[in-house]
Structure 1
Amino acid sequence: MNIIGIIASPRKTGNTAWIVNKILEGAKEQGAETQAWYFSDLDIKPCRGCWGCHQGDQGCVIKDDMQKLNDAIDQANAIVFGSPIYMMQMSAQAKIFIDRLFARYSPRYSPYFKEESAAQKRLILTFNQGNPDSGLFQSYIDYTRHMFELLEFAVTEVPVVTGMRNGPAQERKDLHTVLKDIGSSLVAERSPE
């Protein structure tokens, strides 16, 4: 099983990176192959809104690191996507990534037709926030989950780590086991191929 982590944060060693990597660690301990992708290491430009990706078979007209990330997504059985919550929503890096998915996974708003490429991709969507109130941004989190579901990803879990203003996630002993268990369960619940 191949699981990739996408860390949509400007900080390579921040809370988002630690959370995604801890989930990947749990999956790796169960035999999965894992790889983390850091937005701080990638050159991914914003969508131009040119619709070139939907005119013929050329794909996205922007040639940058999104092609490498798309290849990794194609090879993955599951994705762990992490973003901090900034200004009540995902980071700018996360939004750029999501907008660029349009070239390959634009919503059809139809339950009757699914492409294999996205329909079988399981996704764990994880957020972290400074505020300790886990329900504060729930409407946005639900919206984001629904958006990924419209893109035909199977969102299996949405862990939200709160209270980041009180210290780094890695210092919270309660999170170590919880996050690794999420990664382990992703491998244990693997659907037959």
Structure 2
Amino acid sequence: MKIIGIIASPHKEGNTAWAVNKILEGAKGRGAETRSWSFSDLDISPCRGCLCCHDGSDRGCVIDDDMQELYDALDDADAIILGSPVYMGQMSAQAKIFTDRLFAKISPRFSPHYKEKVTKQKLVLVFTQGNPDPGMFREYFDYTKKMFRMLEFDVKDVVVIAGMREKPAHEHKDLLTAMNKVGSSLVSE
């Protein structure tokens, strides 16, 4: 099983990166092949809305940037971990750019190849937030889960890690075990 992690944060070694990497470690411990990408190392532009990816030519997205590497990884992945800090009550700008750029590969309503897709990819959404109330942005998290389901992902979990202002993720004693468990459960399903 191949599982990839997308760290959609401007912080390469922040709370979101820690959580995504610990989930991947849990999956790797159960035999999965894992890899992660951090947006701080990538040059990915926003979608231009040009619709070239759906003109019938099969060329995909015409923007020549690091998203092309992620498209290849997405094609091979059985599961995806998308991690984002919560900024202004929603996913980061980096996560939004990634999500918008999925249009070129995944959008079922517009893709001429949609019927060729046999299995839904598993997806775990990971949100880290400074606010100590994990339910504070629940409506947004529910909306995001619904949106990814509409894009034909099999959303397995929405992990919300709250209270990151008080102490970083790696200092929460029970969090390491919880993140490893999320990763290992992806492999055992």
Q: Same fold (TM over 0.5)?
A: yes
Number of the residue aligned with 2:42:
42
Q: Secondary structure at the match of 1:60?
A: coil
Number of the residue aligned with 2:85:
84
Output the CA distance in 1 between the equivalents of 2:150 and 2:120.
13
* Distance 1:75-1:162 versus aligned 2 partners, 3 A rule: same
Aligned residue type for 1:83:
S
Alignment of 1:71-110 (within 5 A): 71-108=72-109
Output the CA distance in 2 between the equivalents of 1:63 and 1:2.
25
Q: 1:27 touches 1:186 (CA, 8 Å); kept in 2?
A: yes
Q: CA deviation at 1:107?
A: 4.0
Q: Secondary structure at the match of 1:25?
A: helix
Summarize deviations over 1:77-105 as a string: whole Å, max 9, x none: 11111000001100000000011111111
When the two structures are aligned, how many residues end up with a matched partner? 185
Q: Secondary structure at the match of 1:49?
A: coil
Dislocated runs of 4+, deviation >6 Å: none
Say if 2:134 is the partner of 1:134. Answer: yes
Number of the residue aligned with 1:69:
70
Percent identity, please: 65
Say if 2:171 is the partner of 1:171. Answer: yes
Which structure 2 residue ranges, 5 or more long, are not aligned?
Answer: none
Q: CA deviation at 1:136?
A: 0.8
Output the CA distance in 1 between the equivalents of 2:11 and 2:167.
15
Q: CA deviation at 1:108?
A: 2.3
Q: CA deviation at 1:114?
A: 4.9
The alignment's C-alpha RMSD in Å is 1.4
Summarize deviations over 1:95-142 as a string: whole Å, max 9, x none: 000111111112429xxx75426x420001110110011111000001
Q: 1:46 touches 1:99 (CA, 8 Å); kept in 2?
A: yes
Number of the residue aligned with 1:125:
125
Say if 2:186 is the partner of 1:183. Answer: no
Output the CA distance in 1 between the equivalents of 2:115 and 2:54.
17
Aligned residue type for 1:97:
F
Aligned residue type for 2:166:
N
Aligned residue type for 2:182:
I
Number of the residue aligned with 2:146:
146
Q: CA deviation at 1:159?
A: 0.9
Output the CA distance in 1 between the equivalents of 2:108 and 2:117.
14
Alignment of 1:24-35 (within 5 A): 24-35=24-35
Q: 1:114 touches 1:152 (CA, 8 Å); kept in 2?
A: no
Aligned residue type for 1:166:
E
